[in-house]
Amino acid sequence: MKFKIISKGDKRSNKIKSTMKQYLMDFELQYDREEPDLVISVGGDGTFLEAFHRYQERLDKTAFIGVHTGHLGFYADYTPDELEKLIIEIAKTPFQVVEYPLLEVIIRGNTGEKEDRLLALNEAMIKTSEGSVVFDVKIKGEHFETFRGDGICISTPSGSTAYNKALGGAIIHPSIEAIQLTEMASINNRVFRTIGSPLILPKHHTCLLEPMKDKSFLLAVDHFNRTYNNVKSIQCRVAKERVRFARFRQFPFWNRVRDSFVAEGNQ
Residues that bind ligand NAP (CB under 6 A): 44-46, 49, 70, 73-74, 76, 122-123, 158-159, 161-163, 166, 222-223
Q: Does 70 bind Mn ion (CB under 5 A)?
A: no
Q: Which residues contact 126 (CB under 8 A, 6 or more apart)?
A: 133, 135, 151, 152, 154, 209, 211, 217, 218, 219, 234
Residues contacting Mn ion: total by CB under 5 A: 2
Q: Is 46 annotated as a binding residue?
A: yes
Q: Is 230 annotated as a binding residue?
A: no
What residue type is assigned to position 52 of the chain? Answer: F
Nearest distance in Å: CB 70, Mn ion: 8
Q: Is 189 annotated as a binding residue?
A: no
Nearest distance in Å: CB 119, ligand NAP: 13
Closer Cβ to Mn ion, 46 or 80, answer by number = 46
Give the residues across from 138 on adjacent strands: 143, 208
Q: Is 122 annotated as a binding residue?
A: yes
Closer Cβ to Mn ion, 44 or 66, answer by number = 44
The maximal CA–CA distance of the chain, rounded, in angstroms, is 68
Burial environment of residue 138 by CB neighbours within 10 A (0 to 12, 13 to 18, 19 or more): middle
172 binding partner (options Mn ion, ligand NAP, none; Cβ < 5 to 8 Å by kind): none
Closer Cβ to ligand NAP, 161 or 182, answer by number = 161
Query: Of 26, 32, 45, 77, which is the active-site residue?
Result: 45
122 binding partner (options Mn ion, ligand NAP, none; Cβ < 5 to 8 Å by kind): ligand NAP
158 binding partner (options Mn ion, ligand NAP, none; Cβ < 5 to 8 Å by kind): ligand NAP
Q: Is 14 annotated as a binding residue?
A: no
Q: Is 150 annotated as a binding residue?
A: yes
38 binding partner (options Mn ion, ligand NAP, none; Cβ < 5 to 8 Å by kind): none
Catalytic annotation present for 116: no
The C-alpha atoms of residue 206 and residue 224 are separated, in whole angstroms, by 23
Nearest distance in Å: CB 225, ligand NAP: 11
Judged by CB under 5 A, the residue of 46, 70, 80, 109 near Mn ion is: 46
> Can you give the binding site for Mn ion, defined by CB under 5 A?
44, 46
- Show binding-site residues for NAD(+): 45-46, 122-123, 148, 150, 185
- Show binding-site residues: 45-46, 122-123, 148, 150, 185
Q: Which residues are catalytic?
A: 45
